[in-house]
Amino acid sequence: MGSSPYSFFFFLFLLVAVFPSALSEIRFSESRNDDRRIIPFDQFGFTHKGRLELNVSKISLSNSNLDLSKVGFFLCTLDSWLHVFQQLEDGEIRCALQSDLVKTVYTFNSLNGKDSFNTCYNETDADQYNLVFANCHSQQLKVSMDVKSAMYNLDGKSGVRDYLSAGRTILPRVYFLFSLVYFALAALWISVLYKKRLTAFRIHYFMLAVVVLKALNLLCEAEDKSYIKRTGSAHGWDIIFYIFSFLKGISLFTLIVLIGTGWSFLKPFLQDKEKKVLMIVIPLQVVANIAQVVIDESGPYGHDWFTWKQVFLLVDVVCCCAVLFPIVWSIKNLREAARTDGKAAVNLMKLTLFRHYYVVVICYIYFTRVVVYALETITSYRYSWTSVVAAELATLAFYVFTGYKFKPEAHNPYFVIDDEEEEAAAEALKLEDEFEL
């Protein structure tokens, strides 16, 4: 057996492991005339009291005169799959279901002419497993079926079902606590705006809207995960969560662009090139949110899941890069102004502020897009909640920094400059110019 038939599925398993598609719940999926060798359905972290309930109906096989023991469902960990892949590559086995490293849940040779089956599988070995369908006759067999899967853990004392993966079961409380923090920040910001309402600009009220949307987004996510934890279904909270997630994403990127341009507190209008950045970022955020919905709702079994995942990652990177341009332009404009308008100290303060903001934005993007994903990869599934906490703490720190640095000032420090500060600033700018040369 060559390497090509399973190489894609090996990579797909790695992608699913690095970017978990869901926190698991009761899932419904349809497969029609599917000839894929491997179909990953879901991922779940089991405790020693794990359960898998699998209900498959409307089974239709294009050819039933084959060895159906090579068609069916199994559970395996990522480490197990790496060894299974190697066994397939070395020709030790010809079908993943033949490996003693996977846990067979059900094979189609047990159908006995039926077009449906129900099975419950008890998992006592605590680990993170992938539910996978294998079709080792993919060139000769196409499968159609409706699949309902439910994976959960039983509470040690009460025996209550917990549909959230082990390591993520505390997420409802985490999201709720962070939502309270953001509501408190919103209240504090309202107080600041009231006290300094004479010097508050439109950007400051927009910042309030961003904080409120973030708080509502976290509250909805807490309810979403709480319902999934208890019932296996979001009961409509996922729709509300997607709405606020969409609004929060667009508003945050728009805020970064507007602050980067200095809109309202440095200048009352946007230049054409700055408007173009917004015209790029906002539609891309729409695409990113659509991709996120498809990824979450379809899971890795969907034909287009891999494509949508690539779209989401690409769009996210483009948006993160795009928001940096206005900050760079503002830094360039302030440097040019410092050489011509004679207000060296004022422009140096503004320049320093925007440089700091540029660095913080880069650090925020790097941490939430790279470090958090790395943390997800290296952390045991039992502590997968830590990556969520890390991302939310970084976001909170970014919000606090932005609010503190760009808060309305009753006495603008830019205009309270004495002669000594002016001379020192002029000298600093001169040294920067010489250093660049």
Tokens of 423: 């001379």
Query: Confidence band (pLDDT; 50, 70, 90) for 356?
Result: confident
Range 284-304 average pLDDT: 70
Cα 13 from Cα 2, distance rounded (Å): 18
Beta-strand relationship, 117-123 and 27-34 = unpaired
Percentage of residues in the chain with pLDDT exceeding 90? 39
Lowest mean pLDDT among 126-130, 290-294, 354-358, 367-371: 290-294
Query: Confidence band (pLDDT; 50, 70, 90) for 383?
Result: very high
- Name the 3-class secondary structure at 43: strand
| Run of H or E residues at 57 | strand 50-61
Query: Confidence band (pLDDT; 50, 70, 90) for 22?
Result: very low
Question: Alpha carbon of 124 to those of 45, 130, 232: distances in Å?
Answer: 12, 15, 21
pLDDT tens digits, 81-110: 889 988 888 888 889 999 999 999 999 999
pLDDT of residue 414: 37
Range 140-165 average pLDDT: 91
Of 218, 253, 247, nearest to 388 by C-alpha is 218
Question: What is the pLDDT of the chain when averaged over all its residues?
Answer: 82
pLDDT tens digits, 37-76: 888 888 899 999 999 999 999 999 998 888 999 999 999 9
Of 290, 316, 285, 317, nearest to 304 by C-alpha is 290
The region that residue 402 occupies, defined by phi over 0 for left and psi between -120 and 50 for alpha, beta otherwise, is alpha
Tokens of 73: 């469902």
Is the pLDDT at 419 greater than 50, yes or no? no
Cα 258 from Cα 358, distance rounded (Å): 13
pLDDT tens digits, 101-152: 999 999 999 998 899 999 999 999 999 999 999 999 878 899 999 999 999 9
> pLDDT higher for 221 or 308?
221
For residue 391, how many other CB atoms are within 10 A of its CB? 18
Q: Which residue has the tokens 């002016």?
A: 422
pLDDT of residue 283: 84
Q: Which residue has the tokens 């830019």?
A: 414
pLDDT of residue 269: 62
Tokens of 320: 């993160």
pLDDT of residue 5: 52
Query: Confidence band (pLDDT; 50, 70, 90) for 301?
Result: low
Query: Confidence band (pLDDT; 50, 70, 90) for 376?
Result: confident
Q: Are 253 and 281 in contact (CB under 8 A)?
A: yes
pLDDT of residue 2: 44
Beta-strand relationship, 38-46 and 161-162 = unpaired
Q: What is the DSSP-derived secondary structure letter of residue 370?
A: I
